[in-house]
Chain A
Amino acid sequence: MTLPQRLALFCTLLPALGIGLAFWLNGQAFPEQFCVPWLDGCTTITATGIYYPSAYILRGSLICTAMFCLVWWYCARVWLDSSRMHPLKGWMWFLIVTSMMGSLLLVASIAVLGEHMLPSSEHRFLWRFHTITAGLFFLLTSICQILMTFYMWRLREPLEISHKQILVKVLLAAGQLGSLLAFWILPETGMEHGKVEAICEWWLATFCCAYFVTAWYDWADFNLTHPATYPANHLASQNAFGQEREA
Chain B
Amino acid sequence: MSFGQQIALLCFLLSMGTIAVTYGVAIDQGTAEICNPFFDGCTDITHTGMKGDGGFIFRGGMIAACAFFVVWWQIMAVWLRQYTGALARGAMQLFGIVAAVGLLVGTAVLLPEKDAVRWGVHVRGANLFFQGMLLALTINYVLIWKARRRGLLVPSFGFKTLLMLCLWGLFIAFAGVTVGVEMSNGKRIIEWWATLFIGFYFISSWPDWRSVRLMAESGG
Contacts and interface: CB of A to CB of B under 8 A. Distances in A.
Co-complex (A, B) = yes
Nearest to B60: A111
Contacts of B71: 3, 7, 68, 71
Given A56-B108, A227-B211, A79 B216 contact: yes
B3 A84 contact: no
A234 interface: yes
Contacts of B75: 3, 224
Interface of A: 3-4, 6-7, 52, 56-57, 59-60, 63-64, 66-68, 71, 74-75, 78-79, 82-84, 107-108, 110-112, 114-116, 158-160, 221-231, 234, 238, 240-244
Contact of A60 (B56, B63, B83, B111): B63
B152 A242 contact: no
B78 A3 contact: yes
Contacts of A56: 105, 108-109
A31 B107 CA distance: 28
A5 B206 CA distance: 24
Contact of A64 (B56, B63, B209, B219): B63
Contacts of A84: 220
B17 to A, nearest CB: 14
Nearest to B53: A112
Nearest to A75: B214
B215 A59 contact: no
User: Which of A67, A158, A226, A231 neighbours the largest number of chain B CB atoms within 10 Å of its CB?
Assistant: A226
B213 A241 contact: yes
Contacts of A226: 4, 78-79, 209, 211-213
Given A3-B78, A224-B75, A228-B82, A158 B219 contact: yes
B217 interface: yes
A244 B220 contact: yes
A106 B81 CA distance: 34
Contacts of B95: none
Interface string B60-102: 1001101110010011001101110000000000000000000
